[in-house]
Every structure is written in C-alpha cells, then in structure tokens.
Amino acid sequence: MSILFINASPNKNGNTSQLAKQVLAEKNYGSLQLIDYKIYDYGQDFPDDQLEEVLAQVLAADTLVIGSPVYWHSFTGLLPLLMFLKWLTIP
C-alpha cells in the first residue's frame, strides 16, 4: 500500500509538515509539496504546467493524506486548485 502526503502549506517545514511526520511516523510514505509545482488555473495552457506530474503521483497512491494550514477559516489556495483541476481533468 502506498501512502502520499500532500502538503498544501506554503511553508514546507511548518506545522502541517511536522504534524504529518508525527501521524505517519510508523508508515512508509511519500511527500508531495504543492508549493514546489507550477499548477495553473483551469483553461490556462502553459508549457511549464506541472499538473500532470502531480496527478500521476496522486493516482499512483493507494492512500492520500492531505494537510493544509487554516487561513481565515479555510485551507490554502493551493489545495482547492489541485482538487478542482483533478476532478475537471480526470474522466
């Protein structure tokens, strides 16, 4: 079983990352830092868009653990962008 932790925090080593390390301490897991990828809005076509690379990792995982800090009662803007684009591009 493969586990992928998706960190939606702009701070790679912040509280979200530290919490994931504690929760997944006994597990073998991969990490995906959304801040490291260029993901553009739906309908934008740029050659450096890395959505497909991110989706390949998401689809290859058996289990997703998603972490995001809370800003003004919601998650970061990185997370809904990935979620909405994922469901818009996968049939």
Among 51, 61, 1, which residue's Cα sits nearest to residue 31? 61
Share of the chain above pLDDT 90, in %: 45
State mean pLDDT over 60-88: 75
What residues are paired with 49 via a beta bridge?
Answer: none
Predicted TM-score (pTM) of the model is: 0.78
Closest CA to 60 of 23, 21, 29: 29
pLDDT band at 13 (very low <50, low <70, confident <90, very high): very high
pLDDT at 45 exceeding the cut of 90: no
What pLDDT does residue 1 have? 77
**CATH class of the structural domain 3-89:** alpha beta
CB neighbours (10 Å) of residue 32?
19
Predicted confidence (pLDDT) at residue 76 exceeds the cutoff of 90 = no
